[in-house]
Amino acid sequence: MGHSAKRRHELPRMKVKARKVYPHMDTAKWANHLKGCSCNMCCNPRRSKLFSGDELLTMQERRAAAAAY
Ligand SMILES: [Zn+2]
């Protein structure tokens, strides 16, 4: 089963979960990923305007950089 086929197969289960997480949203439109907004707390820190410089890197990348020296 490929990636997309698996996602289609899991969709009914994911919709049930999405309705549990967002009870006010009957359409379960975020069933794919459960991400409902792109505010500074939910978004990718790399794209956030709150951070700059080293803070834009993921924790994994910061650890790798620290280990390199
Ligand atoms: Zn948010």
Q: Residues 3-62: pLDDT tens digits?
A: 999 999 999 999 999 999 999 989 999 998 888 887 877 777 777 777 777 778 888 888
Contact 50, 33 (CB under 8 A): no
pTM here?
Answer: 0.57
Taking 3-state DSSP, the helix, strand and coil percentages for the chain, each rounded to the nearest 5, stand at 50, 0, 50
- For residues 35 and 17, what is the distance between their CA atoms, to the nearest angstrom? 13
- For residues 43 and 23, what is the distance between their CA atoms, to the nearest angstrom? 22
Contact 15, 31 (CB under 8 A): yes
Calculate how far, in angstroms, residue 47's C-alpha sits from the geometric centre of ligand 1: 13
Phi-psi region of 37 (alpha: psi -120 to 50; beta: other; left: phi over 0): beta
Calculate how far, in angstroms, residue 12's C-alpha sits from the geometric centre of ligand 1: 25
Calculate how far, in angstroms, residue 48's C-alpha sits from the geometric centre of ligand 1: 12
Calculate how far, in angstroms, residue 67's C-alpha sits from the geometric centre of ligand 1: 32
